[in-house]
Structure 1
Amino acid sequence: DVPELRALIGEVAAEQLERSGSDDPRGVSAALRVCFTRLMKSEKKFFVDQLNMLVKRISQEAAEGKDTSASNGELLLRLHSQYPGDIGCFTIYFLNLVRLEPGEAMFLGANEPHAYLHGDCVEVMACSDNTVRAGLTPKFIDVLTLCEMLNYTPAPSSSKILPAAQSQLDPHVYLYDPPVPDFTIMRIEIPASIKLYLVSAMDSASILLVIQGTAVGTSTAAASEMSLRRGSVLFVSANESISLHLSSPDGMLLFRACCLL
């Protein structure tokens, strides 16, 4: 229970959410919509005052050695230090906190709010010109559009995890194939024992990102050799293959974004 958040969304909305049972996903979804909309439409002075009260309370409890995990205290204080007075600090109470380990991935469908809090990741998204922000940003937040477009269907974080499947054609390739036709991700792990590796041709164009290792690449579509290292990005045309001549002692790690036609 976070009384400062309850003050922002109001007792009626809070009680509606509390009454919604897990066996009634539509009721939970409707209650979440009401609560989130009430939060986002609250007056700035009011939510800033409540946020300051929350931060002060959590800070005092942490200083006294109390457990603040029920209020996501550590995360709240970190976000508030990065985005003081930002309404996005309250949105953590509507979202799942997910920690991904190296090699793990998650898929988020359209209109599902999310935020990257720490670390590095490879993100691929479908073509879009309608990014709508919800907080933790100095940029404009279109509250009306945001509250109207979001998907409020509750789901456990485990349902968003996208497992990798080792390719049957190449044991060095792991596929992250989401339930949409727009894109697929490949993780390519080339061991140090391999000095020549062929990035196979595909029916679609793709983008190749080097995360680790060095190599010289050659291709029939390239006029000259390509020196590849961490941070290098290649556009690979459809039906084009690339030969990698590895020069690093630790192998290579690459990601490839493509479309499986």
Structure 2
Amino acid sequence: MAASDNVVRAGLTPKFKDVDTLVAMLTYSCAPIEAQKMRPAEYPYATLNRAAYSSGSAVVLYDPPIEEFSVVRTLLRGDGAKATFEPLAGPSIVICTAGRGKIAVGPTARDVRAGYVFFVGATAELVLTSEGGEDDEFITFRAFCEVEDHSNGVQH
């Protein structure tokens, strides 16, 4: 949920709780599970190197029907697989959930392992490179804000 002063609380806090208002605000819509699942889509703003492409590495986008953020999952297989991401107009956060590798944001490079989290500033190029054996998988998730460029109406 995006930060806001307009919060209606129903528990888990010592602050004022307004359960009746919260329940009145909820919308219930039923649908089969398959209809509610988010489908990943190809993320066209990343380029895989030859090692990544030939190893079956992938970069996919999870774009929920909300404006606050989207998530890109990167799976790099084997040593030396690399994904280069075009700069985004807004900030992002990268978390590594498996494997190890390197992250480069502009001229700065750092080691990455599962549990590491990095902030990537707006307009910075991001490069992820896997390290490890042939069967190792380097998995990261990047949450980012889509920022609209009002000068030309383009979203990034």
Identity %: 28
Aligned partner of 1:229 in structure 2 is: 113
- 1:164-212 alpha-carbon deviations (Å, 9 max, x no partner): 0122444721111122322111111111153443243212111111111
Q: Residue 258 in 1 paired to residue 134 in 2? A: no
Aligned partner of 1:158 in structure 2 is: 34
Question: Structure 2 CA distance, aligned partners of 1:233 and 1:132?
Answer: 29
Q: Residue 178 in 1 paired to residue 64 in 2? A: yes
Aligned partner of 1:108 in structure 2 is: none
Question: Structure 2 CA distance, aligned partners of 1:131 and 1:213?
Answer: 40
Aligned partner of 2:150 in structure 1 is: none
CA contact (8 A) 1:215 1:229 kept: yes
CA contact (8 A) 1:200 1:242 kept: yes
Q: Taking structure 1 as reference, are residues 153 and 196 closer, same or farther at Cα in structure 2, changes over 3 Å only?
A: closer
Question: Structure 1 CA distance, aligned partners of 2:103 and 2:44?
Answer: 24
Q: Taking structure 1 as reference, are residues 128 and 212 closer, same or farther at Cα in structure 2, changes over 3 Å only?
A: farther
- 1:110-162 alpha-carbon deviations (Å, 9 max, x no partner): xxxxxxxxxxxxxxx4345536447xxx6566422222221134333333211
**Any unmatched runs of 5+ in structure 2?**
49-57, 147-154
* Pairs within 5 Å for 1:20-169: 125-128=1-4, 130=7, 132-133=9-10, 142-169=18-45
Aligned partner of 1:220 in structure 2 is: 106
Question: Structure 2 CA distance, aligned partners of 1:214 and 1:131?
Answer: 41
CA contact (8 A) 2:105 2:120 kept: no
- 1:68-126 alpha-carbon deviations (Å, 9 max, x no partner): xxxxxxxxxxxxxxxxxxxxxxxxxxxxxxxxxxxxxxxxxxxxxxxxxxxxxxxxx43
2:35 alignment partner, SS class? helix
Per chain length, whose mean CA-contact separation is higher, i.e. which structure has more relative contact order (CA < 8 Å, sep 6+)? 2
TM-score, normalising length: structure 2:
0.68
Q: Which amino acid aligns with 1:155?
A: A
Q: CA deviation at 1:234?
A: 0.8
- 1:201-240 alpha-carbon deviations (Å, 9 max, x no partner): 2121111111111123333364xx4221101111101111
**1 or 2, which has the higher strand percentage?**
2
2:24 alignment partner, SS class? helix
Aligned partner of 1:113 in structure 2 is: none
**Any unmatched runs of 5+ in structure 1?**
1-124
Q: Which amino acid aligns with 2:70?
A: T
Q: Residue 248 in 1 paired to residue 135 in 2? A: no
How many residue pairs match? The answer is 132
2:20 alignment partner, SS class? helix
CA contact (8 A) 1:221 1:240 kept: no
* Pairs within 5 Å for 1:10-29: none
Question: Structure 1 CA distance, aligned partners of 2:130 and 2:83?
Answer: 8
Question: Structure 2 CA distance, aligned partners of 1:183 and 1:131?
Answer: 22
CA contact (8 A) 1:194 1:251 kept: no
